[in-house]
Chains A and B, each alone.
Chain A
Amino acid sequence: MAESNLLFIGAILSIALGSLSLHLIRKNENLEWNERLAAHILCWMFVVKGIQNAAVGYINELPMENDTENIWQFLYAMSMLLDHAFSFSIMALCLIYPVPLLRTARQLKIGFVVLMTILVFRVVLVLVGHPSSLLEFPGLLYIVSGIVWGTVYIKFRLIEPELRTESTQNIATVCSLFLILVMGHIWFWWPGMILQAEYFYFFDLGGVFTSITWDYMWQMALSLCIAIGLCILAIEVYQSVQGNPNSSMMYILISYFIIGAIGYVILSNVESVHHAVVVEETTKLAALWSTLTSQMHFTIVRPLIAMYILLKFGLFDITEENKSTAKLMAVILIVVATSAILELIQSIIPINEMVSAALLGIIIAFGIGWEERSFDKLVNNRANLRIDVEPKWFPKIKQSDKITSKIDLAYAVFIVIVTLISYLIWKTNMLLQIYWEKGGG
Chain B
Amino acid sequence: MVELSDEKLLTDLFSSSRTKRNIFVFYGVIIMVIVYHASVFMLLEYDNIKNKNTADEFSISFEESIFAESDSRTVNDGEKESVEFTAPPALFLDNAGFGLLEIIITYSETSGEPGDQCDVVSVNIPPNGVTADWQNENNVLSGTSDDCSDILLQVMVYPEYDGNDYNVSGGNQDIWGDFWSDKSHGQGTFTIEIEVEVRQPLIPLPTFQDSDEEVNINWNAHFFDVIVE
Q: Which residues of A contact B (CB under 8 A)?
A: 101, 103-107, 146-147, 150-152, 154-155, 158-160, 193-194, 196, 198, 201-202, 204, 212, 215-216, 219-220, 223-224, 226-228, 230-231, 274-276, 392-393, 395-398
Name the one of A106, A194, A275, A393 contacting B2, with C-beta atoms under 8 angstroms. A106
Contacts of B184 in A (CB 8 A): none
Whether B204 is near chain A, meaning CB under 8 Å from some CB there, is: no
Do A155 and B19 form a contact, CB below 8 Å, given A104-B2, A201-B40, A395-B6? yes
Name the one of A155, A228, A392, A398 contacting B3, with C-beta atoms under 8 angstroms. A398
Q: Is the CB of B33 within 8 A of A223?
A: yes
Contacts of A201 in B (CB 8 A): 40-41, 45, 48-49
Whether B83 is near chain A, meaning CB under 8 Å from some CB there, is: no
Please name the residue on chain A nearest to B52 by beta carbon: A202
Which stretch in B7-15, B102-110, B140-148 binds the other chain?
A: B7-15
Q: How far is the CB of B43 from chain A (nearest CB, A)?
A: 11
Q: Is the CB of B7 within 8 A of A151?
A: no
Whether B23 is near chain A, meaning CB under 8 Å from some CB there, is: yes
Show 25 A/B contacts (Cβ-Cβ < 8 Å), sorted by A: A101-B9, A103-B5, A103-B6, A103-B7, A104-B5, A104-B7, A106-B2, A154-B22, A155-B19, A158-B19, A159-B19, A160-B18, A193-B37, A196-B40, A201-B48, A215-B49, A216-B42, A219-B41, A220-B34, A220-B38, A223-B36, A226-B33, A228-B30, A392-B6, A398-B3
Q: Is the CB of A396 within 8 A of B41?
A: no
CA gap between A393 and B12 in the complex, in Å: 8
Do A227 and B29 form a contact, CB below 8 Å, given A107-B7, A220-B37, A274-B176? yes
Q: How far is the CB of A415 from chain B (nearest CB, A)?
A: 30
Please name the residue on chain A nearest to B53 by beta carbon: A204
Do A230 and B29 form a contact, CB below 8 Å, given A155-B13, A196-B40, A223-B37? yes
Not counting A103-B7, A159-B19, A202-B52, a sample of 4 additional A-B residue pairs whose C-beta atoms are within 8 angstroms of each other reads A152-B13, A154-B19, A193-B37, A397-B2
Shortest 5 CB-CB distances between A and B: which pairs? A395-B5, A227-B33, A223-B37, A274-B171, A392-B6
Q: Is the CB of B26 within 8 A of A196?
A: no
Q: How far is the CB of A255 from chain B (nearest CB, A)?
A: 21
Contacts of A107 in B (CB 8 A): 7
Whether B16 is near chain A, meaning CB under 8 Å from some CB there, is: yes
- The main secondary structure of chain A at its interface with chain B is helix
Contacts of A396 in B (CB 8 A): 3, 5
Q: Is the CB of A158 within 8 A of B1?
A: no
* Most chain A C-beta atoms within 10 Å of own C-beta, residue among B29, B33, B34: B33
CA gap between A204 and B18 in the complex, in Å: 40
Q: How far is the CB of B170 from chain A (nearest CB, A)?
A: 6
Contacts of A397 in B (CB 8 A): 2-3
Contacts of A227 in B (CB 8 A): 29-30, 32-34
Q: Is the CB of A151 within 8 A of B26?
A: yes
Contacts of A105 in B (CB 8 A): 1-2
Please name the residue on chain B nearest to A392 by beta carbon: B6
Q: How far is the CB of B199 from chain A (nearest CB, A)?
A: 46
Within 8 A of A (CB), among B158-187: 160, 170-171, 175-176, 179
CA gap between A274 and B178 in the complex, in Å: 10
Contacts of A196 in B (CB 8 A): 40, 44-45
Contact with A along B29-73 (1 / 0, CB 8 A): 110111011101110110011101100000000000000000000
CA gap between A413 and B41 in the complex, in Å: 40
CA gap between A392 and B6 in the complex, in Å: 6
Do A398 and B45 form a contact, CB below 8 Å, given A155-B13, A224-B30, A227-B29? no
CA gap between A230 and B32 in the complex, in Å: 12
* Most chain A C-beta atoms within 10 Å of own C-beta, residue among B5, B13, B23: B5
Contacts of A155 in B (CB 8 A): 13, 19, 22-23
Q: Is the CB of A224 within 8 A of B34?
A: yes
Q: Is the CB of B3 within 8 A of A150?
A: no
Contacts of B93 in A (CB 8 A): none
Q: Is the CB of B26 within 8 A of A150?
A: yes
CA gap between A227 and B36 in the complex, in Å: 11
